């Protein structure tokens, strides 16, 4: 089925992009900034490629393979012609539009090669993912989220381990930190040499490296924002969750929620002690805040309050047994109004309501894709005025979850 979908997609894609872009043809997606640091090019290119392909209905396996091929070609190219003029002590930057045009051309060429001589797609079981995000009553949307169902394919990891990656970033003081982390954290994680042997250490180092890279960007562009983060990597049968701040992950097994992390809040006793040991303070100003400013004690960015606001991530690890229902990641805009113990019931209610009135299998599938939207609506109706983002990955088929929850006769 996916191979047939891939052939249809490639035909459509080649119809839209029959050849490399003409010199004056605008890019399909405009770069966020006119200049880009070479170290940030990998993540920025992947984001552009994945969005371009997903918007056109590319099957996820094919999209991952095409993006990997295109970004590999780009990073192996001579980029000196794209260097921007700079003063003596200014950092090296690239012309975003020019260098990303090379990436898009590489993507078009990869699609052509695949269409002319398409090898068999690798068999990759894909879990169903539902996601939804709203600005709500806030003036700006500062949340970002990332879904990479085929992490190993996207980054060309050939160790035989299947991986999926999910992340939610909740920005404050602007969206810059959240946007940057959403582009770069998974790229940094993919480069860690001990990803297979010591994934907890790899995850922590990836968080630290991402924060350091953002620090350089923030100093150069005078940015002051920060962002919490919660990221999950399913590596084989192992679930790893890493986090900074109060965005959370929730694992549900056999209809029961499991605590797999403890969010970083200033009033958490060990966090308060850490801040005070560094010479800072935790005070109540409508809510508990570090030095009277930030309502989280760990985050990307917030460099005016380092080291009190730490970028040292915590990581938890769970061996999956096969009886897990789903994994949910969400920002505090969700969890401040919905208690974790209510989540399993709300998900079941959404699945049951959507499955009624249509074919049971088809109905449960469609209902599963709408679950995150239902949860976001529930949080808003319960009084949340914050940005709300929910990402939910089903770890077993929604229909099976429904059947197991049905009362016995």
- The pLDDT tens digits of the residues spanning 342-359 come to 999 999 999 998 766 555
Look at 50 and 359; give whichever has higher pLDDT.
50
Could you tell me if 181 and 75 lie in one domain?
Answer: no
Please, are residues 217 and 180 in contact by the beta-carbon 8 Å criterion? yes
Give the mean pLDDT of the chain: 93
Q: Which residues contact 284 (CB under 8 A, 6 or more apart)?
A: none
Residues 379, 289 share a domain: yes
* Domain boundaries, position 90: 2-116
Domain count of the chain? 2
Q: What is the pTM of this model?
A: 0.94
Judgement on whether residues 293 and 236 belong to the same structural domain of the protein: yes
Virtual CA dihedral for 349, 354, 358, 360, nearest 10 degrees?
Answer: -50
- Same domain membership, residue 154 and residue 75: no
Same domain, 99 and 133: no
Q: Do 240 and 388 belong together in one domain?
A: yes
Bridge partners of 215, per DSSP, are: none
Confidence of residue 409 (pLDDT cuts 50, 70, 90): very low
Q: Are residues 103 and 139 located together in one domain of the fold?
A: no
Give the CA angle between residues 362, 363, 367 to the nearest 5°: 120
Quick one: 349 and 244 in the same domain? yes
In a domain, 141, yes or no: yes
Rounded CA-CA distance 156/273 in Å is 43
Residues 190 and 63 in one domain: no
Check if the beta carbon of residue 232 is closer than 8 Å to that of residue 241.
yes
pLDDT tens, position by position, 262-274 = 999 999 999 999 9
Q: Same structural domain for residues 240 and 261?
A: yes
- The encoded tokens of residue 186 equal 């998974």
pLDDT at 261: 96
> Would you state the structure tokens that stand for residue 257, as one six-digit string?
């929620």
**Of 116, 148, 182, which one is at a domain's C-terminal end?**
116
> Do 255 and 325 contact (CB within 8 A), yes or no?
yes
Tokens representing 280?
A: 């800072």
In this structure, the number of other CB atoms found within 10 A of the CB of residue 158 comes to 8
CATH of the domain at 233: 3.60.40.10
354-363 — which CB contacts under 8 Å span 24+ positions?
355/399, 355/402, 360/399, 361/399
Residues 42 and 172 placed together within one structural domain of the fold: no
Domain assignment of residue 124, yes or no: no
Indicate whether 112 and 156 sit together in one domain.
no
């Amino acid at each position: 089925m996916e191979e047939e979908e891939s052939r249809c997609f490639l035909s459509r894609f080649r119809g839209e992009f029959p050849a490399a872009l003409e010199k004056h043809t605008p890019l399909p997606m405009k770069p966020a900034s006119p200049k880009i640091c070479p170290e940030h090019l990998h993540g920025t290119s992947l984001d552009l490629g994945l969005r371009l392909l997903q918007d056109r209905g590319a099957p996820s396996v094919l999209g991952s393979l095409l993006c990997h091929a295109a970004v590999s070609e780009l990073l192996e190219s001579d980029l000196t012609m794209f260097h921007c003029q700079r003063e003596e002590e200014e950092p090296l930057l690239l012309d975003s539009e020019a260098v990303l045009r090379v990436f898009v051309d590489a993507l078009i060429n990869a699609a052509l090669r695949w269409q002319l001589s398409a090898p068999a797609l690798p068999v990759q079981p894909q879990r169903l993912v539902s996601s939804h995000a709203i600005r709500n009553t806030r003036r700006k949307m500062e949340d970002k989220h990332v879904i990479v169902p085929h992490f190993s394919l996207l980054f060309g990891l050939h160790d035989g381990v299947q991986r999926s990656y999910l992340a939610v970033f909740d920005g404050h003081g602007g969206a810059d930190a959240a946007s940057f982390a959403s582009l770069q954290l998974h790229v940094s994680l993919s480069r860690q040499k001990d990803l297979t042997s010591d994934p907890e250490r790899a995850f922590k180092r990836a968080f630290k490296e991402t924060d350091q890279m953002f620090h350089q960007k923030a100093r150069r562009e005078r940015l002051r924002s920060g962002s919490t983060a919660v990221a999950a990597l399913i590596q084989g049968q192992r679930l790893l969750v890493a986090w900074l701040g109060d965005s959370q992950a929730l694992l549900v097994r056999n209809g029961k929620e499991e605590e797999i992390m403890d969010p970083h809040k200033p009033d958490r006793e060990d966090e308060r002690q850490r801040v005070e040991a560094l010479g800072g303070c935790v005070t109540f100003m409508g809510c508990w805040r570090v030095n009277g400013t930030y309502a989280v004690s760990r985050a990307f960015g917030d460099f005016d309050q380092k080291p009190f606001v730490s970028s040292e991530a915590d990581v938890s690890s769970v061996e999956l047994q096969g009886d897990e229902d789903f994994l949910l990641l969400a920002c505090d805009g969700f969890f401040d109004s919905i208690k974790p113990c209510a989540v399993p019931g709300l998900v079941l209610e959404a699945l049951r309501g959507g499955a009624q009135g249509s074919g049971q299998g088809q109905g449960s599938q469609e209902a599963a894709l709408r679950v995150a939207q239902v949860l976001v609506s529930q949080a808003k109706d319960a009084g949340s005025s914050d940005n709300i983002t929910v990402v939910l990955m089903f770890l077993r088929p929604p229909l099976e979850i429904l059947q197991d929850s049905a009362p016995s006769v």
